[in-house]
Amino acid sequence: MIRSSAHELTKSLSQRQVSAVDLMQQTLEQIAEVNPGVNAIVALRDVADLMAEAQAADQGPVRGPLHGLPIAVKDLVNVAGIPSTQGSPALKDAVPTSDDLIAARMRAAGAILIGKTNVPEHGLGSHTFNPVYGATSNPYDRNLTCGGSSGGAAVALATGMVALADGSDMMGSLRNPAGWNNVYGFRPSWGLVPSEPQGEMFLHQLSTLGPMARSPQDISLFLDVISGPDHRSPFGQATAPTFPIKDRSIRGLKIGWLGDWQRCFPMEGGILELSQEALSVFESLGASVEHIAAPFEADLIWDSWITLRSWSIAGSLAPMMERGEPLKDSAIWEIERGLSMSAMEVHRASEIRSDWFRRAAQLFETYDALVLPTAQVWPFDVNLPWPTEIAGQGMDTYHRWMQVVTPVSLIGLPCLAVPAGFGAINGLPGGVQIFGPRGSDAAILALGKAYHAATEWPQKRPPV
């Protein structure tokens, strides 16, 4: 049962063909068996309380599309009654009394919120480790990282501890771990899934919440639960439901392959080859794939990105630094950069972002989707904070090795990270990013559905 798809489980639960009690029991047994070796789920609620909530779901009315489904929520999200630490020592004893919006929507849809999934401290860096809960390991090799910041979520999915997981994505935070754990992660068009209506709500259009799952169809099911406008948010858009995903013919579609952006993104050996194997699937389905030249200067995208990112992070974390609360070095670096910027520096960075958005819009007049790898490296040593070089080229920041995700992040496009299979030499999972124009979320998910039907990587190669 624990390896079943979320849409099959929720259908069976709502029709009373499967009991929430049985599913909860199997979920808890899987967590007890697997989680000690990977450390993906943290702050697990009391077993008796969870079983009682599952029993109540069986005895009461069907509450929504996720009725009776156990879900662990990413530990950047506040959930009432569950420690919400963000991996920070300053918040290790924080237990919210109310749900953030995304958690409230899951709960209203009938999900049973069982605990948290592990994250890097404050979600910074694509490697899940923190001083509160420790590191989360890759289930395909427990000596290696699972990525991040939605690393715990990806591992919980890959190992069958949950059928759906929420992620968030500023700089590949659900795309990178999806690729490294052989699952799917979807970064929706910016604004489709509203952020928590607190603090500054107008300027920082970088990060977004999004769904993760073992199939695009399950991504779609969860997206419909967490998306849609909130009257307290200045941004948001009403959209038609995406579940179930409509079939889309791949024949005749044009896909642009960006590769390593004309050698601007250094890659470890085998990354591009595995990505091209994924592209060959689309060719077998009737699409044409063209390798296209770098459409915009990579350094301009990078400079714009790190300016706007540091400015955003300083806005949220600077008060903690001012209070003398503990922060890791990368957080302090981001805050100090953000505090040093002038308004015109930020404006120039946004002008570059606007230029890249316009250029990308031109590309989508020719191509139905564009593709990049989800990462420039394979999963690295779990004890290493971050890769300091790729293929002999030094990395000048703690996140430069993640540069391949910035073309999407900078302009808020919808992007589906799909599993690409396993490296020929190391046997490790990798993935590719499939992205399209703003608002093409349903079309990108339909591409993913066709790809999944032809590959089914998460179902073929679950971790041992």
Q: Which of 88, 149, 195, 275 is catalytic?
A: 149
Half-sphere exposure of 41 (CA within 13 A, CB side): 26
Longest dimension (CA), the chain: 60
DSSP result, 218-252: HHHHHHHHH-S--TTSS--------PSPPP---TT
135 pairs with which residues across the strands? 129
Residue 375 dihedral angles phi and psi, to the nearest 5°: -155, 160
Q: Is 55 exposed, middle or buried (0-12, 13-18, 19+ CB in 10 A)?
A: middle
- The DSSP H or E segment spanning 452 is helix 441-455
- Report the candidate in 375, 20, 39, 43 with the shortest Cα–Cα distance to residue 163: 20
74 part of the active site: yes
Q: How far is residue 441 from each of residues 62, 350, 363, measured CA to CA in Å?
A: 28, 24, 17
Assign residue 322 a region (left: φ > 0; alpha: ψ between -120 and 50; beta: otherwise). alpha
Output phi, psi for 231, to 5 deg.
-65, -15
The residue from 5, 14, 88, 173 that is catalytic is: 173
| Euclidean distance between CA atoms 461 and 464, whole angstroms | 9
Q: Is 267 helix (H, G, I), strand (E, B) or coil?
A: coil
Who's near 114: CB < 8 A, 6+ residues apart? 27, 41, 44, 45, 50, 70, 71, 72
Q: Which two tokens stand for residue 71?
A: 């879900």
Q: How many CB atoms lie within 10 A of CB 202?
A: 7
**Looking at this protein, which amino acid is placed at residue 345?**
E
CB 368 within 8 A of CB 355: no
Question: Which among 377, 417, 414 is positioned nearest to 399, based on CA atoms?
Answer: 377
| 66 Cβ contact list (under 8 Å, min separation 6) | 10, 106, 109, 110, 111, 164, 222, 225
Residue 84 is a catalytic residue: no
Helix axes 216-226, 441-455, angle to 10 degrees: 150
Choose, from 5, 14, 74, 220, the residue flagged as catalytic.
Answer: 74
3-state class (DSSP) for residue 87: coil
SS3 205: coil
Task: Decide if 187 contacts 173 (C-beta within 8 A).
Answer: no
Q: Which residues are catalytic?
A: 74, 149, 173
